[in-house]
Amino acid sequence: MPNLQVVAVLTAKPGSEKLVGDALNALVEPTRSEAGCNSYQLFVSAADPATFITVETWVSQDDLDAHLRTPHVQQALATAGDHLALAPAIHPLIPVNTH
């Protein structure tokens, strides 16, 4: 089974960019240490500083599901949740062209 590529988009409310960014940045190291995590990168959009994007590679959907249940993810969502403009959009990706 190939690795699962995932992109997550989180948008902070105006004025909450630092709080949301700090909460998400606190996820990077513990997430990279999780079983099943091949890579995890956090970005902020150059076009919109309120938009944060993670680019992730997991061994399987089960590993991603386990990640979403970890205490560090739950803490980040508790900290940032009321400061998000929208619900997090998590996009597991399916290759369009595998040639």
Choice between 2 and 14, residue whose per-residue pLDDT is larger: 14
Dist CA 34 CA 41 (whole Å): 14
Would the pTM count as exceeding 0.75? yes
| Class of CATH domain 4-93 | alpha beta
The beta-strand segments (E) located in 1-99 are 4-11, 37-44, 51-58, 89-93
Q: What is the pLDDT of residues 18-72, one digit of tens each?
A: 999 999 999 999 999 999 999 999 999 999 999 999 999 999 999 999 999 999 9
Cα–Cα distance between 1 and 65 in angstroms, integer? 16
User: Rg for the chain (alpha carbons), in Å?
Assistant: 14
Q: Concatenated DSSP letters for 67-85?
A: HHTSHHHHHHHHHHGGGBS
Question: Would you kindly state where each structural domain of the chain is located, as residue ranges?
Answer: 4-93
